[in-house]
Amino acid sequence: MKKAIYPGSFDPIHNGHLDVIERASGLCDTVVVAVARNLSKNGLFSTEERVEMIKKTTSHLKGVEVTSFEGLLVDFFAEQNAQAVIRGIRAISDFEYEFQMALVNRNLSDTFETIFLMPSQEHIYLSSRIVKEVARFGGELAAFVPELTATSLRKKLAE
C-alpha cells in the first residue's frame, strides 16, 4: 500500500502505538501518524509536544511522517490522498467504538477504508490513560513507553 494514516490522540505515545506504527510501516510506503488537534485541548501534552515525541520515537522507521490534523478525519484522509486509515485494536472492548467510528467514516466518505492491526500480546493492555496514571503515582514506566516518553511524563508531571 502506498499511503496510510494512523490517527489518534497519542497523549502520550506508548509502546502499543509504536508496535502498530512499526507493523504499518512494514506494510505501507508511507505512514502518516496524525495527532487529532480537536482532542488535544484537555490532554496532558500539547499537540506540538505529542508530535515532537512521536517524531523522535519513530525516527528509526522508514517512511513514517508525523503531523496533526484539525476537524474530521475523512477530510484529512481526502487531503492526504491516502488509501487507508490504520487503527490498533487491542481487545473486544475496543471493537464497538472502532466499529462505530469505521462505519461513520465510511458513511461520510465512500472511499474511506479502515484497517485494524493488532499489537503484540505484551502491549495489548496498554493505554495512554493507564500510562499517565502509573506515571502520576511514580510507578516504573520502562515496560510501557519509550524512554523519551517516560522522561517527558516525569518532567510534565513535576511542573
Site string for ligand PNS, 8-27 (x = CB under 6 A): xx------------------
Structural contact between residues 31 and 62, judged by C-beta atoms closer than 8 angstroms:
no
Q: For this structure, is 3 an active site residue?
A: no
By beta-carbon proximity to ligand PNS, the closer residue of 11 and 141 is 11
Candidates 6-14, 24-32, 113-121, 147-155; binding stretch for ligand PNS (CB under 6 A): 6-14
102 binds ligand PNS (CB under 6 A): no
In Å, what is the CA distance from 83 to each residue of 4, 21, 79?
6, 16, 11
Q: 90, 123, 132, 152: which is the annotated catalytic residue?
A: 90
92 CB burial (10 A radius; 0-12, 13-18, 19+): exposed
Q: 14, 17, 50, 123: which is the annotated catalytic residue?
A: 17
Q: For this structure, is 14 an active site residue?
A: no
In Å, what is the CA distance from 72 to each residue of 34, 105, 118?
12, 9, 24
| Sign, CA torsion 127/33/23/60 | negative
Residues designated as active site: 17, 41, 90, 128
Residues of this chain that bind ligand PNS (CB under 6 A): 7-9, 36, 38-39, 72-73, 101, 104-105
